[in-house]
Structure 1
Amino acid sequence: MQLPILRRMGATTSTVRRRVVASPNYRDGEFRSHEPTHVVVTAEAEGPGSLLATMVRERGRGRPRGAVPLVTPRHPVEPADLAVTWYGHATSVVELDGRRFLLDPVFGERVSPSVLVGPKRMHPVPGRIAEIPRLDAVVISHDHYDHLDEPSIKQLERSHRPHYVVPLGVDEHLRAWGVPAARITTLDWREETEVAGVRITCCEARHFSGRGFVRNQTLWAAWALRGPRHAVFFGGDSGPTHRYADIGADLGPFDLTIIPIGAYSVHWPDIHLNPEQAVEAHLDVNKGETDSVLLPIHWATFNLATHWWSEPIRWARRSAAERGARLVAPRVGTRIELSGNDVDEVVAAHQEPWWEACTAEADHD
């Protein structure tokens, strides 16, 4: 019998490698972004240059003070033309032209192979997987534990048995957890598929992958979802990259972008956007147009960096205001319907600074 910690880690490196070596993006034994990507660098800009020194100096900043307010998700039986429900971190439900997609489902308590150690959820999950109505597909950005969660896949298999759209190599993790190959579509960068009339395109991101000690044996990706009337961009995880402008030129603009704003650091500038860079990415994929709505994700739920807990959303709101970008800041669990409503009114309705009640005093502007 396989140990639980090994099961959570997914497929072995050797199993994955046999499937991915033919990709033009797999070079010298690993997947590589087209820009140099350093996972951790020494940064003198933050004082003592070591990552350890920064972690000791800024320990405890990334947690809220008190309970994070939640909203119980309310999904219609029939999906809308354009709506999104944020479940925390990157997990979101997108309704697009009458179809429903679940992005990066992580409903577990820890983003770790262990149930005892590793980053723990800082607020409860606002709703259960079984309560989400029928899904047309589950879309996964990459195989890090905070984006691909084995217990959540098990729940999906019990309640939905959905179709999955994933980057190269991630399919092997799903297969190791019992998902049949017939329900998995695997794509390389710039490849696309169609699900229920929605075109889903695998886009390049600047990041890395791995669930054990060996990195970059599976691909990481952003995703463009385009239906007959609306389009959504999902950033997954990425550092700053000129590929956002390329995505905008080829696939944009979008009605909604879902882009990470948290877990950034001067120690890993290539793999996560800071909030100002996230707003820039939003504008890039939309060719500079400001009609699109930005939902900032990848903050509030797990403590994965050394910045203050609410710093990402406060910085993102300032940057969006300076650039004229439409940004919504919903409570976790909130469903935002953009179709059939005045977009400016919808954006205005989701500006309450709800995070201030659970923000440490030192974290205030």
Structure 2
Amino acid sequence: MKRRQFLKAMGIGAAGLCLGGTYYVNRPEFGRLPTGMRGERILASPHYYDGQFQNLEPIEETVKGGEAKAMAEFIFGSSEGLKPKGRMISQKTDLHALPLDKDCVVWMGHSSLYLHLGGYRILIDPVFSSYASPAFFINRAFDGSNVYGAADIPPVDVLVISHDHWDHLDYPSIMALKDKVKHIVCPLGVGEYFEQWRFDMARVCEEDWYTAIPLADGLTVHVLPSQHFSGRMLKRNQTQWAGFAFITPGRRVYVSGDGGYGSYFRHIGETLGPFDLAIVENGQYNERWARIHLMPEEAAQAAVDVGAKTVLSVHNGKFALSRHRWDEPYRRLAAASAGKPYRLLTPKIGEALYIGDDRQVFGPWWEQMT
């Protein structure tokens, strides 16, 4: 092939790849960056400056040692122990049959949670897809861990989204739940996804950190800070990330969302605690990004800081997004919880945990799989 013909062919190929890539990232699941009145609200936030949302405490470079090195380690490093050798243990609960008058939580793997609080149904970060990514071959769920789908979920009073990462905001799951949701709570900017996906925006409560949302008689949701980042292959940190407190006359439940350790945990405990239950991130950590995810020992300290009476760990059990063994978060948190003023609760995926029921005992189920 002559040089001119070669260059012409390469140009067509590059143009085709460019067009294909543009089409790919313009798929609705990628979302779009906030604009208009939402963009004005973001610019007015005290937590948005220098062109992006900021954490309360400055953090170092997200990945120590360079992102290229970390990516190479993730792709080409050993996969030994990252996933269970057999099927994940689970105990699927019929959510439609759960008594609404009993406060409870069902962990559905990773950070997906279904709660009954004060007679209200709450669904948090539902991910029912088999992959925590826009591609079918990246971040596949552990065998046996994906036991719930949208059909298993009753109509919910509140859908809560902590941030826009693929393992928390799952487009197919959200669209399948569209007609089942009464209210949506999310941090600033995340409402752009729901507007693009043609949700009724009158149902969306999109607020900044330290905002209390009185959703119904006897249920208030507090949007709270976490120490993390955001983005779905778009520009980073244009939408906010958050944790939450759910308060009814009889219960206080804290959900940390994704985020590293900081003084904000103690402040939350002092202003809103103590909590009957703290649901704390514990998994997908790495020393390279220690400031944006909790190490297990930090998860234990965060639970102490917020004044937790009982603790449930999440962000584990379904996806391998880091290089630690799949069962390491459970083992390390169990060791770190010894002597702490809270009770660590370890239900299997799908097993109902009744808040305030001290008679419930959960064993180290992960030991059956090693």
- DSSP 3-state at the match of 2:338: helix
Partner in structure 2 of residue 201 of structure 1: 222
- Residue 282 of structure 2: which of 251, 261, 273 is its match? 261
- 1:350 maps to amino acid: F
- 2:251 maps to amino acid: H
- Residue 70 of structure 2: which of 38, 51, 74 is its match? 51
Contact 1:156–1:162, Cα closer than 8 Å, also in 2 = no
- The correspondence of residues 48-127 of structure 1 with structure 2, limited to 5 A, is 50-51=69-70, 54-55=73-74, 56-75=76-95, 76=97, 78-114=99-135, 116-122=136-142, 123-127=144-148
Partner in structure 1 of residue 368 of structure 2: 357
Extract unaligned runs of 5+ from structure 2.
1-22
Shift of 1:140: 1.0
Partner in structure 2 of residue 283 of structure 1: 304
Establish whether residue 39 from structure 1 lines up as the match of residue 62 from structure 2: yes
Q: 1:139 to 1:313 in 2, by over 3 A?
A: same
Shift of 1:337: 1.2
- Residue 342 of structure 2: which of 316, 325, 336 is its match? 325
Q: 1:57 to 1:108 in 2, by over 3 A?
A: closer
Partner in structure 2 of residue 164 of structure 1: 184
Shift of 1:135: 1.2
Q: 1:355 to 1:5 in 2, by over 3 A?
A: farther
The 1-side partners of 2:166 and 2:72 are apart by 25
Shift of 1:194: 1.2
- DSSP 3-state at the match of 1:162: strand
The 1-side partners of 2:101 and 2:113 are apart by 15
The 2-side partners of 1:335 and 1:206 are apart by 29
Establish whether residue 235 from structure 1 lines up as the match of residue 256 from structure 2: yes
The 1-side partners of 2:41 and 2:24 are apart by 25
Tell me the number of residue pairs that the alignment of Structure 1 and Structure 2 aligns. 341
Shift of 1:52: 5.1
Contact 1:237–1:272, Cα closer than 8 Å, also in 2 = yes
Percent identity of paired positions between Structure 1 and Structure 2 = 35
Contact 1:78–1:98, Cα closer than 8 Å, also in 2 = no
- The correspondence of residues 106-185 of structure 1 with structure 2, limited to 5 A, is 106-114=127-135, 116-122=136-142, 123-158=144-179, 160-185=180-205
The 2-side partners of 1:72 and 1:141 are apart by 24
Q: Tell which structure's C-alpha radius of gyration is larger.
A: 2
- The correspondence of residues 328-339 of structure 1 with structure 2, limited to 5 A, is 328-339=345-356
Establish whether residue 222 from structure 1 lines up as the match of residue 222 from structure 2: no
The 2-side partners of 1:126 and 1:221 are apart by 26
The 2-side partners of 1:139 and 1:216 are apart by 19
The 2-side partners of 1:293 and 1:216 are apart by 32
The 2-side partners of 1:52 and 1:137 are apart by 36
Shift of 1:39: 1.6
- DSSP 3-state at the match of 1:186: strand
TM-score scaled by length of structure 2:
0.87
Contact 2:33–2:238, Cα closer than 8 Å, also in 1 = no
- DSSP 3-state at the match of 2:292: coil
Contact 1:74–1:335, Cα closer than 8 Å, also in 2 = no
- 2:280 maps to amino acid: I
The 1-side partners of 2:167 and 2:49 are apart by 26
Partner in structure 2 of residue 308 of structure 1: 325
The 1-side partners of 2:107 and 2:256 are apart by 14
- 1:29 maps to amino acid: G
Shift of 1:293: 1.0
Partner in structure 1 of residue 207 of structure 2: 187
The 2-side partners of 1:36 and 1:301 are apart by 30
Extract unaligned runs of 5+ from structure 1.
44-48, 360-365
Shift of 1:184: 0.3
